[in-house]
Amino acid sequence: MQSVTTTASSPSAAAQDLPADGLVVVVKQDCPTCRLVAPVLGALDAVDAVVYSQDDPAFPDGVAVRDDTALDASTALGIDVVPTLLHRAGGAETARVEGWDRDRWRELSGVADLGAELPEWRPGCGSRTHDPAVADELLVRARGHLLAARRVELAGLEDEAEALYDRGWTDGLPVVAPTPPRVLRMLAGTTRAPDEIVAVVPPNLVPATVEKVAINAVLAGCRPEYLPVVLAAMEAACTPEFNAHGLTATTWGAGPAVLVHGPIARRIGVNAGGNALGQGTRANATIGRALQLVIRNVGGGRPGEVDRATLGQPGKVGLCFAEDEEGSPWEPLSASRGVPPGASAVTVFAAEGPRGVVDQISRSPESLARSLARALLGVGHPKLAPGFDAMLVLAPEHVAVFAEAGWDRARFGAELDALLLRPPEELARGADGIDEGLAGPTQPQPKFRPGGLLVAVAGGGAGKFSAVLGGWVGGRGGSSPVTRVIEEA
């Protein structure tokens, strides 16, 4: 089920007829505490209490009971526990008691000897509104009118995972069916309206609403709290600067990757530590996947069609990780990209799969910088400069070498730029017996264009290993990294 819709339902008589003033009691027969307090409910007739029963209109016996088996009154009243005694005045609640508390029931009802034969206190039971068997139905009944996407019905004997794969809505891995309740729960992760257009998604230039992004976030396995990150990533990826159309259509193997900055990364659990570029963390695994699924399912960027990658790479399923801002001795990358202090943001950039860089011996910043520069020369091809962009991910043991020597981010970047300036004789076509290269360079060339090399700090505390994520052609005609501040609820 790729997309869903429901029709709005009108409030039932139970919800419409809530008393504006007086006492209301909500019970259910399948609750020991409700059965305990059943004898006292008759005594509340004298104060005109209205009793609603969630599961049995005949319970309790001998009391005028309003049928709330449809749970409309309980939903309207926000009942979490039964029994609940509450007082209303002018259509608004003024007081509430959950469970049985003799002193408080007496105080609220004004009946001095209420429940004299009962124990002083008993905990209540969970309201039927929280029963998993009915919670989804109630959610759709209350908020289903917000959904506009078409409903796709699966046959009773269809396997859900296989049916979604057969309809072309997956990236080859199983996905989570975006049923109406799941989409509504996902939409609760943002305050943005479901029909708000987030971006026009290439390659087919189809408008994507918040709802459509939410549907694909469900497919990807996201939690609702991830949705603001996915929405910001979509906005960044669909800018002309990022050029998602070109990145999708190129025969090169790079794809969109998401770097998360700021407090939201820690709050929702985006991994910036050990195995940050690998498996095992739900946020990392699903946020980048959601972005790719929107490009596929909404924008039409399917492999073998518009997506013409010669080889591709596993990161095209989805790549997302966080910058280790707390553990880094340097100012975060986000600060250099204009993100205000304390704000959360994403940077979307073109990336190949990670390639590890080993240097376990260098203890001076000069030696380690040379090692890293040598590894970066291989991005795209050692004889192409400038050409493809890249990201260098420095693990803690490597960045510590520079920090201990007093190198800040700016110093490191300047030293690296100097080391990556390549002499023309090395880049010329035919040099070293290699036909690939530049046509007749006469001046030294930088390996990366200005702004084409991003440096982020992430990874586990043990291991003198960093990583290079090669990119794609940078700048005009290619792709530039784009940073967007996340709009949080």
Taking residue 255's Cβ as centre, other Cβ atoms within 10 Å add up to 29
Those residues with Cβ within 8 angstroms of residue 442's Cβ, 6 or more apart along the chain or in another chain: 424
Look up tokens 């990780």; give the residue.
321
Does residue 9 carry a pLDDT above 60?
Answer: no
Establish if 333 belongs to a structural domain: yes
Alpha helices in 26-179 (DSSP H): 32-41, 72-77, 102-109, 132-143, 160-166
* pLDDT(1) > 90: no
For 139-143, 213-217, 286-290, which range has the lowest pLDDT when averaged over its residues?
A: 139-143
Looking at the structure, tell me whether residues 114 and 189 fall in a common domain. Answer: no
Q: What is the mean pLDDT of residues 65-75?
A: 96
457-480 mean pLDDT: 95
Note whether residue 8 is domain-resident. no
- Over range 212-217, report the average pLDDT: 98
Looking at the structure, do residues 119 and 175 belong to the same domain, yes or no?
A: no
The CATH number covering residue 74 comes to 3.40.30.10
The two three-digit tokens of residue 488, written as one number: 């949080």
What's the confidence (pLDDT) of residue 142? 86
Residue 382 counted as domain residue: yes
Q: Flag whether pLDDT at 489 surpasses 70.
A: no
Q: How far apart are CA 181 and CA 167, in angstroms?
A: 21
As for how many domains the chain has, the answer is 2
What share of the chain has pLDDT > 70, as a percent? 97
Q: Are residues 285 and 232 in the same domain?
A: yes
pLDDT at 472: 96
Answer whether 176's CB lies under 8 Å from 217's CB.
no
Residue 338 half-sphere exposure toward CB, CA atoms < 13 A:
6
173 and 252 housed in the same domain: yes
Lowest mean pLDDT among 13-22, 33-42, 350-359, 425-434: 13-22
Q: Are residues 252 and 315 in the same domain?
A: yes
More confident residue, 10 or 278: 278
Assess whether 61 and 188 both reside in one domain. Answer: no
Over residues 296-352, the pLDDT tens digits come to 999 999 999 999 999 999 999 999 999 999 999 999 999 999 999 999 999 999 999
Dihedral class, residue 280 (left if φ above 0, else alpha if ψ from -120 to 50, else beta):
left
**C-beta neighbour count of 178 within 10 angstroms:** 24
Are 359 and 423 in the same domain?
yes
**Once rounded to an integer, what is the mean pLDDT over residues 196-216?**
97
Is the pLDDT at 439 greater than 70, yes or no?
Answer: yes
In whole angstroms, give the CA distance from residue 154 to residue 166. 12
Residues 169 and 110 in one domain: no
- Domain C-terminal end among 111, 132, 153: 132
Domain that holds residue 332: 165-485
Average pLDDT over residues 412-418: 97
Answer whether residue 45 shows pLDDT above 90: no
If pLDDT is split at 50, 70 and 90, which confidence band does 293 have? very high
What is the rounded average pLDDT of the residues 182-199? 97
Above 70 in pLDDT, residue 8?
no
User: How many CB atoms within 10 Å of residue 118?
Assistant: 16
Residues 124 and 259 grouped into a single domain: no
pLDDT band at 17 (very low <50, low <70, confident <90, very high): confident
The predicted structure's pLDDT at residue 431: 94
Instruction: Using DSSP, state whether 79 is helix, strand or coil.
Output: coil
In a domain, 334, yes or no: yes
Q: What is the pLDDT of residue 16?
A: 59
pLDDT digits (tens, 9 = 90+) for 149-158: 999 998 888 9
- With contact defined as beta carbons under 8 Å apart, do 289 and 256 qualify? no
User: Would the pLDDT of 2 be above 80?
Assistant: no
Give per-residue pLDDT as tens, 178-189. 999 999 999 999
Q: How far apart are the C-alpha atoms of 395 and 262, rounded to whole Å?
A: 18
Query: Collapsing DSSP states into helix, strand and coil, what is residue 392?
Result: strand
Are 401 and 371 in contact by the 8 Å Cβ rule? The answer is no
What mean pLDDT comes out for the span 1-7? 36
Strand 206-209 versus strand 255-261 pairing type = unpaired
Q: Who's near 4: CB < 8 A, 6+ residues apart?
A: 147, 149, 150, 151, 152, 178, 179, 180, 183, 215
Please provide the DSSP assignment of 407-452 as one string.
Answer: --HHHHHHHHHHHTEEPHHHHBTTGGG---SBSS--S-EESS-TT-
Q: What 3 state SS string does 246-290 have?
A: HHHHCCCCCEEEEEEECHHHHHHCCCCCCCCCCCCCHHHHHHHHH
pLDDT by residue (tens digit) across 71-108?
999 999 999 999 999 999 999 999 999 999 999 999 99
For residues 275 and 440, give the distance between their C-alpha atoms in angstroms, rounded to a whole number: 43
Residue 100 phi/psi, 5° resolution?
A: -105, 120
If asked whether residues 54 and 182 sit together in one domain, one would say no
Q: Are 96 and 216 in the same domain?
A: no
Picking from 450, 439, 435, the residue whose alpha carbon sits closest to that of residue 481 is: 450
The tokens for 269 are 């659990």
Closest CA to 208 of 331, 300, 333: 300
Tell me: pLDDT of 197 over 70.
yes
Burial class (CB in 10 A: 0-12, 13-18, 19+), 64: exposed
138 is a domain residue: no
pLDDT attached to residue 100: 98
pLDDT surpasses 70 at 137 = yes
Pair of tokens at residue 238: 């669909």
